[in-house]
């Protein structure tokens, strides 16, 4: 079912996902880094399976994406999800840079936002749901620490639905970066950019749309016009599970100051769990 002529030795799409794509049913891609790196076992595997079932109940087909024994897989079995959960941090975290090497070595790999977009596009999947995208890190004017997710959004024709960018990031620079590369930042029923745990931030989205139909029409026009690249649909976390913006910012500022005092920096120092939340 791949849109590209890729060998089945490299890319395998599950029967469920193949059938859905053939019948033009809605398919939602899911990343796998949250399974291996975001939560402990068995909660990680259980959460991933619950997310899949939530998608099915809404009438769509889930397509969790990962690399299993050197094969890019679109649509995982329960056993494969549990394998990623059990192995945890022993599983390679795979972005665009790492993808060919993990596949060539026959390893297991958990996909980030960037690599999930790549493999979803190979399979012809246009929508991907995740907790939050990566972005421009605080202090990036000195470190150039910018997530590969942003360049993937600039180049790959997949719409990423999320709760905004991760709270630890420099949200202002992240929105500027997306604007520079022509990536639409859509607020779903919101004009303010959500910030992962928080429903709002001081920054605006590029456009507010209030229905899935409006978003789907914009996707179709964008890609039919030859305007390559993805879109971000920022859907705020439900109010019942949101945290106050001032509380999150205070915690982040403390963590950043502690890291600076210890002489540390970079993505690994400021990691924030990015998994699905109840009610999201």
What is the C-alpha separation between 184 and 160, in angstroms, rounded?
11
Domains of the chain and any CATH numbers: 11-270 (3.40.1790.10)
Q: Catalytic residue numbers?
A: 31, 166
Query: What residue numbers does the annotated binding site for Mn(2+) cover?
Result: 145
**pLDDT value, residue 273:** 44
Q: Who contacts 17 (Cβ-Cβ below 8 Å, separation ≥6)? A: 1, 27, 61, 63, 74, 75, 123, 125
**pLDDT value, residue 2:** 45
What is the C-alpha separation between 162 and 70, in angstroms, rounded?
28
**pLDDT value, residue 3:** 55
Q: Which residues of the chain have pLDDT under 50?
A: 1-2, 266-280
**pLDDT value, residue 255:** 87
What is the C-alpha separation between 32 and 276, in angstroms, rounded?
11
Cβ–Cβ under 8 Å, residues 99 and 66: no
Sign of CA dihedral 255, 30, 193, 236: negative
Q: Who contacts 258 (Cβ-Cβ below 8 Å, separation ≥6)? A: none
For residue 112, what are the CA distances in angstroms to 33, 36, 140?
6, 11, 20
**pLDDT value, residue 4:** 64
Adjacent-strand bridge partners of 192: 204
Which tokens hold the place of 90?
């022993």
């Amino acid at each position: 079912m791949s849109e590209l002529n890729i060998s089945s030795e490299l890319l395998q799409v599950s029967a469920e996902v193949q059938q859905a794509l053939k019948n033009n049913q809605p398919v939602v891609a899911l990343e796998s880094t949250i399974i291996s790196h975001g939560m402990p076992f068995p909660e990680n595997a259980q959460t991933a399976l619950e997310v899949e079932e939530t998608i099915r109940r809404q009438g769509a087909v889930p397509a969790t994406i990962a690399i299993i024994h050197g094969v890019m897989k679109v649509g995982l079995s329960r056993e494969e999800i549990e394998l990623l959960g059990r192995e945890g941090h022993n599983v390679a975290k795979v972005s665009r840079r790492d993808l060919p090497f993990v596949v060539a070595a026959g390893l297991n790999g958990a996909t980030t936002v960037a690599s999930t977009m790549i493999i979803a596009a190979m399979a012809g999947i246009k929508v991907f749901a995740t907790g939050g995208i990566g972005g421009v890190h605080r202090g990036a004017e000195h470190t150039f620490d910018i997530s590969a997710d942003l360049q993937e959004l600039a180049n790959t024709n997949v719409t990423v639905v999320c709760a905004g960018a991760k709270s630890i990031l420099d949200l202002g620079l992240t929105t500027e970066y997306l604007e520079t590369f022509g990536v639409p930042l859509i607020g779903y029923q919101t004009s303010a950019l959500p910030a992962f745990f928080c429903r709002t931030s001081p920054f605006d989205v590029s456009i507010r749309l209030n229905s899935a139909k409006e978003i789907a029409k914009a996707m179709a026009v964008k890609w039919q016009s030859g305007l390559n690249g993805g879109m971000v649909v920022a859907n705020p976390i439900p109010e019942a599970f949101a945290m106050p913006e001032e509380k999150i910012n205070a915690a982040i500022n403390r963590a950043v100051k502690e890291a600076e005092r210890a002489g540390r920096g970079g993505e690994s120092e400021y990691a924030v769990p990015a998994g699905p939340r109840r009610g999201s």
